Structure 1
Amino acid sequence: MYSLYAENENVKKENERLQHEHVSMNETLQARAKLIDQLKSDLDKLNDEYKKQNVLVQRLSELLASCPDLQLENERLKLENGQLRYNASLDYSMGIAEENVKLKLENKVLKVQNDALCGKLISDSDKKLA
């Protein structure tokens, strides 16, 4: 009788442990499902951006097709781009993400400076015309 009681207690403890493990696994699965959804969303955004850039590249390529010197430069840049993409895929690390953030900030600063210079040029042009 005692061994049945002890076995019953062991089974209850194992059941509780398994229930906790089940809850933990469900939480992990939910968190990973959210991460997958976020990654899918990010991928969709990147694909949209890629399509936009591809249209721009196609249009620029059409414009470059009429000039042999620009065609050679374009081919050189395509090769360089391929090499950079290959190297980036080999050397990818967290440092790239940090560098990306820095470059985005620098890009914003340069856009502001560019807008300010354009405004100054327009202002100077207006003054000369007046």
Structure 2
Amino acid sequence: MKEWVIAVSLLTGGVLMLLGAVGLLRMPDIYTRMHTATKPAILGSGLLAFAATLYFADLLVTLRALLIGGLVLLTAPVAAHVIARAAYFAGVKLWEHSVRDELKGMYDPDSHILHSPSHLNRDTLRE
């Protein structure tokens, strides 16, 4: 039974990582690419670390797997957010079929200030 859990965890983690890599090639803009790369990387690496923990059944390996999983869980979303924010402020365009731009009109490139929606006119937010 333990071998099956390890095999399913490895296979699922590997498939998720592969889907994330394919998503990097298939998605149309940087924002959707980061979303596609971050979500599977977190879950896939967590499943691979879980499988390693079960397979080796060693305290040191378990601690390393928890450390790796925790670091990926903390750093991947933060890195994706920072890269997306930098890309947006640098003027990287959204995909032409994106439904809405929630930051439109909120960023002042001259002062580098990002305003909250309460500072804007409601008509600006609906555009």
**Structure with bigger gyration radius:** 1
**What TM-score comes out, normalization by structure 2 length?**
0.33
**What TM-score comes out, normalization by structure 1 length?**
0.33
